[in-house]
């Protein structure tokens, strides 16, 4: 969990807060926006990848999310967190895409199709000094986790990742997913139960 969400990892402009960057964006400074893109592109890409389970489209949707954020940044209220506002835009972009795909009839939520997709962050497995057998074991474990996550519904998938990986609080997840806190809790409960069922053997052997 990342408890310090006021300063997510890998900031592009060390020491410059989101608030300052947003104010500069609102004054028309595109370089400040570039800094925000650099800071959050990995997180937004991760979200779009996990939600739609298609890496190429996810890259485009992550870009689309930032473009929409730029267009709307004039209306951003400075008393709330930039990242929840940005994640909410990405959430809407992905759900619009899913809805269109659903209408077109070629992206129904068929869990059997998602098993073999590689989820976001596939390249992010630490490549430190590891013995080859250990690295292989880690890669296998990660592939199993990605496959299990892919078998959740988009709502459950997003809720559990925003909680466990992003470390967002319930009210922030509700803000991003545009639902009530009760719905967030329910999604977290069922996502965990499903993942537990899918991964129990894996993590009991791994720990």
Residues 12-71 that bind another protein (CB under 8 A): 30, 33-34, 37-38, 41-43, 45-46, 55, 59, 62-63, 66-68, 70-71
Closest by CA to 4, choosing from 182, 135, 206, 169, is: 169
- For another protein, which residue of 98, 118, 135, 147 counts as binding (CB under 8 A)? 98
On the CB side of 9, CA atoms within 13 Å amount to 8
Per-residue mark of binding to another protein, 145-184 (x: CB under 8 A): xx--x-xxx-xx---xx-xxxxx-xxx--xx--xxxxxx-
User: Binding to another protein by residue 8, rule CB under 8 A?
Assistant: yes
User: Binding to another protein by residue 7, rule CB under 8 A?
Assistant: no
Closest by CA to 89, choosing from 70, 107, 110, 117, is: 70
Cα 97 versus chain centre, distance? 15
User: Binding to another protein by residue 196, rule CB under 8 A?
Assistant: yes
Query: Cα–Cα distance between 161 and 83 in angstroms, integer?
Result: 15
Q: Which stretch binds another protein (CB under 8 A): 15-23, 127-135, 195-203?
A: 195-203
């Amino acid at each position: 969990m990342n408890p310090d969400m006021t300063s997510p990892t890998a900031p592009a402009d060390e020491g410059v807060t989101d608030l300052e960057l947003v104010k500069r964006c609102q004054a028309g400074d595109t370089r400040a926006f570039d800094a925000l893109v650099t800071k959050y592109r990995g997180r937004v890409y991760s979200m779009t990848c996990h939600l739609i389970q298609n890496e190429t489209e996810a890259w485009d949707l992550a870009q689309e999310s930032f473009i929409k954020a730029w267009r709307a940044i004039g209306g951003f209220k400075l008393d709330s967190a930039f990242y929840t506002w940005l994640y909410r835009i990405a959430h809407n972009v992905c759900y619009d895409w899913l809805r269109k795909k659903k209408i077109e009839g070629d992206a129904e939520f068929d869990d059997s199709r998602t098993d073999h997709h590689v989820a976001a962050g596939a390249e992010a497995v630490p490549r430190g000094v590891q013995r080859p057998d250990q690295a292989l074991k880690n890669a296998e474990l990660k592939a199993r986790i990605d496959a299990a996550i892919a078998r959740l519904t988009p709502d459950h998938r997003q809720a559990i990742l925003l909680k466990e990986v992003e470390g967002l609080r319930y009210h922030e997840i509700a803000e991003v997913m545009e639902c009530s806190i009760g719905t967030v809790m329910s999604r977290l409960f069922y996502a965990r139960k499903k993942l537990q069922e899918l991964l129990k053997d894996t993590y009991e052997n791994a720990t």
